[in-house]
Structure 1
């Protein structure tokens, strides 16, 4: 995938809606399985299904779900949204697709936990006349459209952020550790490819493993890397996301070292680690443009309208399938631009970030 510069239009109102809805509970405190986010509980008719992959990563329940639901209701007041979360279980998600078929949804938005394994489920849905939109991750199968970020570019941003944070230590002889995402997630491969494009030959990738998007696994992998390489010989750590970076930071602290550490998703805990100095950077991907574009395409498909004005490019899956796509840009966040990114765009408020534990760090960073 070629890196492309995208215009980012973050909807302040939409983000406010997401934050208001998220305030009702923590990530993962979602409604019971198979819940509906609409006042209408009738199946079929103007019904859109939404399947998200897991709730360990805070973004899905706090931002993606409420943003998509709110935009669908804005565009189609009498539409119902049938929702479920796979909880990181691909077999469970396959069952959820079958449930959506039984409920008679007309359009299905799915962020696949296993992009390859879900192919047969998507084929079954399409065979019943359901239009499928791949969200955030490109699923295999007869997809009508795909909305995500320029994921290889994100990997490049991560790699460059790590080099920048390493400064004079970024040499071909400097050992770095890479903890990649789940191989079942096609985005993980693109993040990895983008990062390698920047890091290869500039530093020595001395240890690279998958953390499976789990902080516990990432912690174990970095602990093994420390044993293998020696704590003082690790000059930087690439983490594919902030969730894993949390587990990595714990392992590094336990070894008495604090090399530059990158992440992704601009999670609140990641932003706070950046302020505290235990994480160097994260990647801010504005959720509103992705969620709203997906909702618009879903409603257009439901109403039989053309959505080509939204899908300005194409994406190709690992199996060679090409689908209309809308790809969004991202921004590297460091201590220097927290105020001008996640705070300015309303992703988090200053009180949310600058709790008592981080008040002094916020003051030092000029965030008050």
Structure 2
């Protein structure tokens, strides 16, 4: 009987080591949920998820990451959150499909005493534990600045621009647009039409851009596209419409296909954001919350939430080596496939 009691005590202590005291003070599984919004933008599945999971595994080998992608469906993301709660998560890292609709997810987390980190896109809720993103208004300002300066360098002081914004349900889209307009307004260039792209869909951006080519044709001097996916749609429509030479087109996210379009001259610029650093900060803070730590942001707290906003960087053909290659985002071999080898050599990318 003594041996049996001793064995039971050992088992209890061993099992106790497999749980952690959560923020509520009760025993909780060491499970972290990562809910991402969509897969049309390449970064989420290719970078955010693996970087996040790798950092959690490094800091907390016994932790489990519960992952789901909502495919741009807010109702689906709500269901994924409920599933994560049912699996006993202790921390939720949420990149919302719809920033307003996701408030209900945060409320459900609060009722379960599960702290929420808002990842990339800000959820409109003051009770968040942390927000990690980039300075999204600055992203838009960088895009607008690059476009206006490129047009000026090409000899234009006025002309027609079309504006392809992001998804209307993404709060970041509003910030990108605000930043871009802070530069474009008053620059001498006129925005003749603009479009809020549902779901950030490149197909919908392409369809809309095709109608603008029909209406404005060669009179367009520039295209503001909020990210690389919509830029790709816009460029496809311009080419199909026979617009030559292509006007400068902006982008964001430094997707590999966008970098290659920049090399070939089809896209003028993109914005490089260190997604690895973003994902690792989110993972580090998620593990810290598991351990009952209080989080502190590295940026000015203007919304009552500990916040870290990382710095975005303009990428053109002139600094690909110093940005996405030096940062380990891509190798020269990945960029300079046989189709782009000659253009790479001409640009000194080697």
CA shift for structure 1 position 315: 4.7
- Kept in 1: contact 2:129–2:295 (CA 8 A): no
Asked which structure has the greater CA Rg, the reply is 2
State the partner residue of 1:235: 221
CA shift for structure 1 position 144: 1.1
- Kept in 1: contact 2:28–2:88 (CA 8 A): yes
- Kept in 1: contact 2:151–2:157 (CA 8 A): no
1:248-263 counterparts in 2 under 5 A?
248-257=234-243, 258-263=246-251
Partner residue of 2:316 out of 318, 334, 344: 334
- Kept in 2: contact 1:118–1:139 (CA 8 A): yes
Q: Which moved more, 1:135-144 or 1:102-111?
A: 135-144
State the partner residue of 2:257: 269
Give the whole-Å Cα distance in 1 for the aligned partners of 2:153 and 2:86.
Answer: 59
Give the whole-Å Cα distance in 2 for the aligned partners of 1:170 and 1:89.
Answer: 44
Deviations 1:1-22 (A, max 9, x none): xxxxxxxxxxxxxxxxxxxxxx
State the partner residue of 2:135: 150
CA shift for structure 1 position 172: 6.0
CA shift for structure 1 position 169: 5.5
What RMSD over aligned residues (CA atoms) do the two structures have, in Å? 1.6
The runs of at least 4 consecutive aligned structure 1 residues that moved more than 3 Å come to 168-173
Give the whole-Å Cα distance in 2 for the aligned partners of 1:67 and 1:44.
Answer: 24
CA shift for structure 1 position 83: 0.5
State the partner residue of 1:215: 202
- Kept in 1: contact 2:140–2:178 (CA 8 A): yes
Task: Mark the runs of 5 or more structure 1 residues left unpaired by the alignment.
Answer: 1-39, 317-321
State the partner residue of 1:300: 288
CA shift for structure 1 position 300: 1.1
Give the whole-Å Cα distance in 2 for the aligned partners of 1:192 and 1:232.
Answer: 24
2:334 pairs with 1:352: yes
Deviations 1:57-113 (A, max 9, x none): 110011100111111111112111110100111100000110111011000000000
Give the whole-Å Cα distance in 2 for the aligned partners of 1:228 and 1:271.
Answer: 29
State the partner residue of 1:5: none
State the partner residue of 1:362: 344
- With over 3 angstroms needed to count, the CA separation of the structure-2 counterparts of 1:242 and 1:207, relative to structure 1, is same
- Helix, strand or coil for the counterpart of 1:265? coil
- Helix, strand or coil for the counterpart of 1:187? helix
1:315-330 counterparts in 2 under 5 A?
315-316=302-303, 322-330=304-312
- Kept in 2: contact 1:215–1:245 (CA 8 A): yes
Scaled by the length of structure 1, the TM-score of the pair is 0.84
- Kept in 2: contact 1:180–1:240 (CA 8 A): yes
2:149 pairs with 1:164: yes
Partner residue of 1:180 out of 141, 153, 165: 165
Partner residue of 2:116 out of 126, 132, 147: 132
**Alignment: residue pair count:** 320
Scaled by the length of structure 2, the TM-score of the pair is 0.88
CA shift for structure 1 position 170: 7.0
CA shift for structure 1 position 290: 0.9
Give the whole-Å Cα distance in 2 for the aligned partners of 1:253 and 1:116.
Answer: 37
- Helix, strand or coil for the counterpart of 2:133? strand
Q: Which moved more, 1:161-170 or 1:274-283?
A: 161-170
CA shift for structure 1 position 255: 1.9
- Kept in 2: contact 1:137–1:185 (CA 8 A): yes
- With over 3 angstroms needed to count, the CA separation of the structure-2 counterparts of 1:215 and 1:138, relative to structure 1, is same
State the partner residue of 1:193: 178
- Helix, strand or coil for the counterpart of 1:175? strand
CA shift for structure 1 position 251: 0.6
State the partner residue of 1:6: none
Q: Which moved more, 1:118-127 or 1:98-107?
A: 118-127
CA shift for structure 1 position 312: 3.6
- Helix, strand or coil for the counterpart of 2:301? strand
Give the whole-Å Cα distance in 2 for the aligned partners of 1:312 and 1:246.
Answer: 33
CA shift for structure 1 position 44: 5.3
Give the whole-Å Cα distance in 1 for the aligned partners of 2:97 and 2:294.
Answer: 28
- Helix, strand or coil for the counterpart of 2:318? helix
2:66 pairs with 1:82: yes
State the partner residue of 1:94: 78
- Kept in 1: contact 2:168–2:197 (CA 8 A): no
